[in-house]
A and B are shown apart, each in its own frame.
Chain A
Amino acid sequence: DAGVIQSPRHEVTEMGQEVTLRCKPISGHDYLFWYRQTMMRGLELLIYFNNNVPIDDSGMPEDRFSAKMPNASFSTLKIQPSEPRDSAVYFCASSIGTSLSTDTQYFGPGTRLTVL
Chain B
Amino acid sequence: AQSVTQPDIHITVSEGASLELRCNYSYGATPYLFWYVQSPGQGLQLLLKYFSGDTLVQGIKGFEAEFKRSQSSFNLRKPSVHWSDAAEYFCAVGSNTGKLIFGQGTTLQVKP
B83 within 8 Å of A (CB atoms): no
Give the complex CA separation of A50 and B61 in angstroms. Answer: 31
User: Known: A48-B99, A56-B97, A101-B32. Is A43-B45 also a contact (CB below 8 A)?
Assistant: no
Within 8 A of B (CB), among A31-84: 31, 42-45, 48, 56
Give the complex CA separation of A98 and B52 in angstroms. Answer: 17
Q: A104, B105: Cβ atoms under 8 Å?
A: no
Q: A91, B43: Cβ atoms under 8 Å?
A: yes
Give the complex CA separation of A106 and B101 in angstroms. Answer: 15
Give the complex CA separation of A103 and B46 in angstroms. Answer: 11
Q: B105, A43: Cβ atoms under 8 Å?
A: yes
Cβ-closest chain B residue relative to A101: B51
Q: A42, B99: Cβ atoms under 8 Å?
A: no
Rounded to whole Å, the gap between the CB of A82 and the closest CB of chain B is: 22
Q: A99, B98: Cβ atoms under 8 Å?
A: yes
User: Known: A101-B52, A108-B43. Is A43-B102 also a contact (CB below 8 A)?
Assistant: yes
Question: Which of chain A's residues have a CB closer than 8 A to the CB of B45?
Answer: 107
Instruction: Return the CB mask of B10-46 against A: 1 if under 8 Å, else 0.
Output: 0000000000000000000000100010000111111
Contact-size category for A = 20 to 34
Give the complex CA separation of A5 and B106 in angstroms. Answer: 25
User: Known: A99-B98, A100-B94. Is A91-B44 also a contact (CB below 8 A)?
Assistant: yes
Rounded to whole Å, the gap between the CB of A76 and the closest CB of chain B is: 18
Q: A104, B46: Cβ atoms under 8 Å?
A: yes
Cβ-closest chain B residue relative to A104: B46
Rounded to whole Å, the gap between the CB of B14 and the closest CB of chain A is: 27
Rounded to whole Å, the gap between the CB of A102 and the closest CB of chain B is: 9
Give the complex CA separation of A50 and B43 in angstroms. Answer: 21
Give the complex CA separation of A99 and B100 in angstroms. Answer: 11
Cβ-closest chain B residue relative to A92: B43
A110 within 8 Å of B (CB atoms): yes
Question: Which of chain A's residues have a CB closer than 8 A to the CB of B97?
Answer: 56, 98
B109 within 8 Å of A (CB atoms): no
5 nearest A-B pairs in the assembled complex, by CB-CB distance: A98-B98, A107-B43, A100-B94, A100-B32, A43-B102
